[in-house]
Structure 1
Amino acid sequence: MPVAFSFRKAIAGAGLALAAVACQSNSTTSETTAAPDAAASGLSAGTWRGVLSTQGQEIPFLFDVATAGGSPTVTLRNGEERLKLDEITTAGDSTTIRLGVFDAALVVRADGTDKLQGAWVKYDAGKPYRVPFAAEKGAQPLFPVMADQKALSFDGTWKVTFKDEEGKTYPAVGVFTQTPAGITGTFLTSTGDYRYLSGQVDGNTMKLSTFDGSHGFLFTGNKLSDTNSDTITLINGDFYSGLSGHETWTATLDPTAKLPDANALTGMKPGQKKLDFKFPSIAGGTLSPTDAKYQGKVVVVQMLGSWCPNCMDETNFLAPWYEQNKQRGVEIIGLGYERASDDEATAKRKLTKMKQRLNVGYDLALAGVADKDAAGKTLPQIQKVLAFPTTIFLDKKGEVRTIHTGFSGPGTGKYYEQEKADFNKTIDQLLAE
């Protein structure tokens, strides 16, 4: 029998657990309302440096404001990434900048000339989630550089181990590119990557940050050098995430560092070959892999959440890919796992917004809540769900051939290119059968 979906039961069973390492599952209250002009919002055109203050740390990020036509738009800058924010409303002296597809906002007010004060607010965190925010206009580095000593090099590929507050560890690969202007890079993990990071090196200390609307990350690392040279042999660091997340990390330089095979981290249970589910489509009706639309075709099942930046990276790849390849006999079913604090109508609204903003042409369904264990119960034929996103490849007979955990997004450079190449290779092989 196919697994039917009850959103209310799914919420009751899932609690408020986090869903993945890289996509930490973080609803909507509506903010009032009038379209602002630049003067009323305090958002004057130019480049700004914003700072989130949390856990005794500062998480800086840069953003650009444009005021064409009198109405401001904000563009977040993370390394090479540009995230345009155009849902901006003002009520009284308060301006709300909605953060893309995420159920979150920067709520700000002018603090004198070319300064802002306010908070980063998540509406779907299941509990009050406000991080103090301030910003000042003017071109500035992300992090001030104080030391007179020579900056040691973090450039290269690193074998990394993260440790959480409970002592649990997980492997990662750090990839950094350092120039006189600063340092960029990311960390890859088995559940996804930490996206576009950028910052500065100050003597023997590296600082990297990012803010994409769903996540605010700060990574610091101290470099330990050999006695008679500045060759780095080890990094000891801290990782601060949002309101309360904290982990430590260590790294050694290793150009051959790699993660476990993402296609081998989970699989089907013994004796199981097919997925058997029926979930409500956000367009009405239900979706099941046994529907006539999918028969005789290669089908990709994408487990995602609108709260998850790694899922948005994958969706930004899959949406145009589907339009270019659907005529080959390929379909995609997106299974949405939303926050446990959401009701069915809210979850549907979030997925619909994601579909519209990212131009998603493939089918999307309400599948459950953003919890790995609960998600596993919605697809009981699978051994376990380790991350959002998880991508499942079905052959023309409807049998599961590959389950791919996580996604290496565009912030990972060559690893993203390999991710896309492996995806296309798998599809080509299944279509050729």
Structure 2
Amino acid sequence: MKKISNLIFLLSSILFLFASCDKPSSVFNTGMWRGALITESGAEIPFNFEVADSAGKNHLDIFNSSERFRVNEISRNGDSIHIQMPLFDSEIKGVLADGKITGVWTKHLADTDVVMQFFAEAGIDWRIKKEFEKPMAQVTGKWATTFLSTDGKDTTIAIGEFVQNDAKVTGTFLTSTGDYRYLDGILDGNKLMISTFDGSHAYLFTATLDGDKLTDGKFYSDFSSVETWSAVKDDQAKLPDAYGLTVLKTGEKKINFSFPNLEKKMISLNDPQFKNKVVVLQMLGSWCPNCMDETAYLSKFYDKYQAKGVEVVGLAYERTRDFDKSKKNIERLKNRFNVKYNLLVTGYTKDKEDAAKSLPMLNKVIAFPTMIIIDKKGEVREIHTGFSGPGTGNHYIEFVNEFEKLINDLLKES
């Protein structure tokens, strides 16, 4: 009888092992992954990320060219996985099984959500295509670029700057209102394909390289937007001066406002803490990747310059007028970059016409971020539209040198 019981136990154990082998594994594999978002038209917007384990807790880094974007908020419940982006109020939810994730990426807007199908697979380090043709030419250089909206009504002038190493292509597009951050992809024969995903924007650019022209360009943005674009190689291409796009109205010299900080204390430039100080006023939004880059820079700048007599104030224009919702998203930005300067909740939205009402002494607001530099007398000396972040290479370095020279000159004034 005992032998029969042992036999039954042994058979049961074998059946359990076979059943376990058939059951999908929900292990979150460490190492490289390839992720992709699917647009309404069926195009893939690909990116790579690396999963690591630290003290039994996972984190991941999203790769776009040289950028490594750390994501720490990852939660698991059985085979369900939730990846909360540290900024931009977006998240990935899906099912994890056998080294694959299938689910959705959701970007929360003020009145609705943008939802895109998402999938990812472990153990893949290529981004666009695993196999591709040897490039027929070089796309390295500067390109005068024109984007045309779907309805044909809106035109955006940009400069594409790319670096090609064998088939790999990195670079960005610069515009008068900011850059498209870190783009990463390949030149497959004569087909250019570059993409980025940073938790806020999902972009894919495709085009055909034809000598000194890029033709048949398509720009896929988030779920449904598709624009056409073309470019001509032009080493002399330039954008309008970022210091001349937004100006004070005739007769105005100063900026006036009173907005609450995150503790609901009202802050004004007339407060004693700003007296006889050089002030940098930052118009930003927690939803804005260029604002993220500018905040990363200004946070370190403030640490360096506060003791010299500089104050920085951030005016946040969020997707909602709800103070608590705005505060939550602004705090994420503050904590991410260890911001020590005041961040104020304006109560105005990201709509540029609405934002312009908050500072009626400006002629217009055309972009986030916009930076206003104020001298010791409280008078506006410069207004800088947009921000060329570290993804723009030398343009970023040039801005930092130019901006800090201006600040140092203002500090010398009595």
Q: TM-score, normalised by structure 1?
A: 0.86
Whole-Å separation in 2 of the counterparts to 1:280 and 1:329: 23
In the alignment, does 2:165 pair up with 1:179? yes
Deviation (angstroms), 1:179:
0.6
Q: 1:41 to 1:376 in 2, by over 3 A?
A: farther
Deviation (angstroms), 1:124:
2.6
After superposition, residues 353-364 of structure 1 pair within 5 angstroms as 353-364=332-343
Query: Which of 395, 399, 403 is equivalent to 1:415?
Result: 395
**Could you list the per-position Cα deviations for residues 24-50 of structure 1 after superposition, in whole angstroms to 9, with x for gaps in the alignment?**
xxxxxxxxxxxxxxx986421010000
What one-letter code is carried by the residue in structure 2 that aligns with 1:242? D
Residue 84 of structure 1 is matched in structure 2 by 70
Residue 33 of structure 1 is matched in structure 2 by none
Percent of aligned pairs with the same amino acid = 46
Residue 326 of structure 2 is matched in structure 1 by 347
Whole-Å separation in 1 of the counterparts to 2:127 and 2:292: 25
Residue 243 of structure 2 is matched in structure 1 by 263
Q: 1:48 to 1:406 in 2, by over 3 A?
A: same
Whole-Å separation in 1 of the counterparts to 2:112 and 2:342: 31
Q: 1:182 to 1:271 in 2, by over 3 A?
A: same
SS of 1:67's partner is strand
Residue 201 of structure 1 is matched in structure 2 by 187
Deviation (angstroms), 1:140:
3.1
**Could you list the per-position Cα deviations for residues 33-75 of structure 1 after superposition, in whole angstroms to 9, with x for gaps in the alignment?**
xxxxxx9864210100001111320000000000222221111
Residue 16 of structure 1 is matched in structure 2 by none
Could you tell me whether the CA contact under 8 Å between 2:316 and 2:330 is conserved in 1?
Answer: yes
| Stretch moving more, 120-129 or 209-218 | 120-129
Residue 46 of structure 2 is matched in structure 1 by 60
Deviation (angstroms), 1:345:
0.7
Residue 20 of structure 1 is matched in structure 2 by none
Q: 1:120 to 1:412 in 2, by over 3 A?
A: same
Could you tell me whether the CA contact under 8 Å between 1:61 and 1:77 is conserved in 2?
Answer: yes
After superposition, residues 342-421 of structure 1 pair within 5 angstroms as 343-367=322-346, 368-421=348-401
Deviation (angstroms), 1:284:
3.1
Deviation (angstroms), 1:364:
0.7
After superposition, residues 18-167 of structure 1 pair within 5 angstroms as 42-54=27-39, 55-111=41-97, 113-124=98-109, 126-144=111-129, 148=133, 150-167=135-152
Whole-Å separation in 1 of the counterparts to 2:64 and 2:409: 36
Could you tell me whether the CA contact under 8 Å between 1:74 and 1:85 is conserved in 2?
Answer: yes
Query: Which of 300, 304, 308 is equivalent to 1:320?
Result: 300
What one-letter code is carried by the residue in structure 1 that aligns with 2:144? K
Q: 1:73 to 1:234 in 2, by over 3 A?
A: closer
What one-letter code is carried by the residue in structure 2 that aligns with 1:161? T
| Alpha-carbon RMSD | 1.6
What one-letter code is carried by the residue in structure 2 that aligns with 1:121? T
Deviation (angstroms), 1:293:
0.5
After superposition, residues 216-295 of structure 1 pair within 5 angstroms as 216-225=202-211, 232-295=212-275
SS of 2:306's partner is helix
Could you tell me whether the CA contact under 8 Å between 2:281 and 2:314 is conserved in 1?
Answer: yes
Q: 1:148 to 1:399 in 2, by over 3 A?
A: closer
Deviation (angstroms), 1:343:
1.4
Whole-Å separation in 2 of the counterparts to 1:244 and 1:397: 48
In the alignment, does 2:285 pair up with 1:305? yes
| Stretch moving more, 316-325 or 137-146 | 137-146
Could you tell me whether the CA contact under 8 Å between 1:311 and 1:388 is conserved in 2?
Answer: yes
What one-letter code is carried by the residue in structure 2 that aligns with 1:237? G
Q: 1:42 to 1:129 in 2, by over 3 A?
A: farther
Deviation (angstroms), 1:148:
4.3
| Stretch moving more, 139-148 or 85-94 | 139-148
Q: 1:150 to 1:271 in 2, by over 3 A?
A: closer
Residue 12 of structure 2 is matched in structure 1 by none
Deviation (angstroms), 1:243:
1.1
Residue 14 of structure 2 is matched in structure 1 by none
**Could you list the per-position Cα deviations for residues 151-173 of structure 1 after superposition, in whole angstroms to 9, with x for gaps in the alignment?**
32111011111111232112111
Whole-Å separation in 1 of the counterparts to 2:292 and 2:213: 35
Q: 1:236 to 1:428 in 2, by over 3 A?
A: farther
Whole-Å separation in 2 of the counterparts to 1:74 and 1:323: 28
- Larger Rg belongs to: 2
| Stretch moving more, 343-352 or 138-147 | 138-147
Whole-Å separation in 2 of the counterparts to 1:414 and 1:150: 26
Q: 1:41 to 1:298 in 2, by over 3 A?
A: farther
Q: Which runs of 5+ in 2 are unaligned?
A: 1-23
Q: 1:316 to 1:41 in 2, by over 3 A?
A: farther
Deviation (angstroms), 1:128:
3.1
Could you tell me whether the CA contact under 8 Å between 1:234 and 1:252 is conserved in 2?
Answer: yes
What one-letter code is carried by the residue in structure 2 that aligns with 1:241? S
**Could you list the per-position Cα deviations for residues 122-153 of structure 1 after superposition, in whole angstroms to 9, with x for gaps in the alignment?**
12352132100111111332111655464321
Whole-Å separation in 2 of the counterparts to 1:46 and 1:245: 32
SS of 2:330's partner is helix
What one-letter code is carried by the residue in structure 1 that aligns with 2:228? T
Task: Compare relative contact order (CA 8 Å, sep 6+) and give the higher one, 1 or 2.
Answer: 1
Whole-Å separation in 2 of the counterparts to 1:302 and 1:150: 43
Whole-Å separation in 2 of the counterparts to 1:145 and 1:221: 19
